[in-house]
Structure 1
Amino acid sequence: MFGLPAEVGLRIAAEALNLSLGTAYRRVRNGDFPCRVRRRGRRYVVRLPDLMRALGIQDVRVRYDDVEAGARFASGESDV
């Protein structure tokens, strides 16, 4: 809905976790990367919800009605 990817590459995950790419690869090999890492062909990927959880970001569900109400509010329309 918001254009966020379902998963990100190891480089992006490492940057988000403030790790160098070399440290990220080493931690993946050692099995102690802060979140679950999967192989997609030759690449390592991390599911976005797993990365958010590792960053301490709560997984908040957004309902379509809330988005619509927010759009109406932002445009100056009232719900009354």
Structure 2
Amino acid sequence: MKRHRDESVAFSAVFGLPAEMGMRMAADALSLSLSTAYKRARNGEFPCPVRRIGRRYVVRMADLMRTLGIQDVRVHYDDFETGARIARARSDTWY
């Protein structure tokens, strides 16, 4: 039996989301002020794991999505095509 390669892509990749982000973007996503975000990161109390790279704090997109309750599910290419077809049909009939 021949195995087919996985014809899917992660949800985050569909929208071109970065693999990781700086503290400002993570704080905005979590509705925290930047100073509160830095304070929580320093104290180990940030809502999701952070890494320190030099003087910067970095948050992985997967960790932030998990904290926000967003699943980074695999999406199949057939679903893209079907969704695009449905969206086109709706935009043609909407006034």
| Residues 15-60 of structure 1 deviation map (CA, whole Å, 9 limit, x = unaligned) | 1111111111111111111001112333211111111111122232
* Bigger share in strand: 2
- Residue aligning to 1:10: 23
- Residue aligning to 1:45: 58
TM superposition score normalised by structure 1: 0.80
Distance in 2 between residues matched to 1:55 and 1:75, nearest whole Å: 30
- Residue aligning to 1:60: 73
Distance in 1 between residues matched to 2:37 and 2:86, nearest whole Å: 43
In structure 2, list runs of 5 or more residues that go unmatched.
Answer: 1-13, 90-95
1:54 alignment partner AA: T
TM superposition score normalised by structure 2: 0.69
1:72 alignment partner AA: R
Larger radius of gyration between Structure 1 and Structure 2: 2
Distance in 2 between residues matched to 1:35 and 1:41, nearest whole Å: 19
Give the structure, 1 or 2, with the largest relative contact order (CA under 8 Å, sep 6 or more): 2
Tell me the secondary structure at the aligned position of residue 45 of structure 1. strand
| Large movers: runs of 4+ above 6 Å | none
- Residue aligning to 1:33: 46
Over the aligned positions, Cα root-mean-square deviation in angstroms equals 1.5
